Structure 1
């Protein structure tokens, strides 16, 4: 998946995650593959319900195994996570891999100080004393830009602003220097100024530690800022992947094009109306046959024989670049150009 010759630190192969419910089987992830190398950021983008968060919770082993059917392979630094025991996963979580959740206030305990919550994670994985853990907590709060960390370490989450809570979450995630960091829309609830600060912080910390980052978002603008490679998900499947430059400058799947067309452009005419994707994301309980995007696709009538609604398109990947669409590549290029979408190449 990566655009370098580095060996993947995390490798996901043909991942399927299905949940049993009273109404039937929810196919939340349905055959997903990707790689990420150390020091690189993979951006996973898609609408709500596309399977982004489920994928990353599966990597961390946070699903109820009694109600979840998981197939495929997830290998982290040579270790198969899907065959690991819960005890082995507990040793890895917070230590070798960590996650920043979207809602810091809901993820932090209101009954314990920020310093205690960061310090307990550190003590669990290192056996450090309470004094050492407190010193480490202060160091991490300083590293993520919390002013007066010696004083704020004893504050509770409600005494922090939204941006500061998110920084505290990042400090907790990084306290044991994990080699894989999963960020699940960590800037969604923040204003644009704080969002930019958090993004810069993640990039600085990645450069310092060489961390591999999986960044989940629905915002292509965020992807443009932070990602090296991009994976576009729809209906539990990957519909397009490539480097950031390839995907954003030359989208090859109608869904990716739709996401871009629904975004405002900073360098285009201000009076051009946005073009939202019609319809709603598919039900993963009863997904459409064939290409899952076909009920919302503007080009479905361009493919002969009803192929879009009857046959799943293959994700053909060459040198990390590919898309899952029945339209021939040259025809796609011609049709996409006709929409006069603002390009940056």
Structure 2
């Protein structure tokens, strides 16, 4: 089976089924109402498999603002693992000796969640585990007779589903079934051209469909994502670092009449990244968030390890007060980097 056609951007799609709200980095366990109920949670496993083939975890325009654009990127060396700690939450990227991901984060229901890959003795993938403090997902890959089909057993607690991925020349299809073989949801992937495509998902529990479209620029960077959450676009430097960032978020607003469905309102944000010659982000400027009033003007200071990669990033927020910009402490991010043999 080949899963490298769609790039790492499809990781973000895992956060859209069901549709999540404003993008945040949630460091608390989800409430019980968010992870259980009558409606199953469906997510495109094909997207997760595509992420495993990506050479690195690179920033893309749908990321939350609080997550560093170079969170899992180093300028020197090839690390075996990177663990990033922000507030009380941690995310890790781990590779084995064959440079395959065994641990990596992805967006799920609007938040970064850890996934672990279990490999067999021959190096084939046996299982994916989506970690959660209460209800982890287990995706077990089953042996089949048809090489064009990928069959999986998907479990979360006592819930059991089966998934099938079928390859085609113009696009692929993923179908979820219940334990009795009844179809529950379908994902289709249409490839317009290399680096661009459309994902559509339908299930029997909700009306209509969810569709996401993504595009790459000529250098392979994710330039635009259109989804039910909004439109996200970015421009890049010649080194592939984000330079300009536009976020047009669709947020539900209370209905004027009680009992009516909430309406969607568009909220626009724009940002500019400033990088120094060493490849470090030194400043982020932009418009305030949906629930903020002060413009964004963040400066950054670093602590480096012996190889020149940053292991601590300190944020200084410049806040307009009394007609001047006043520095105020912001987020502190720690990275633990372990290197393999050179």
Query: What's the TM-score once normalised by structure 1's chain length?
Result: 0.29
More helix by share: 1
Query: What's the TM-score once normalised by structure 2's chain length?
Result: 0.29
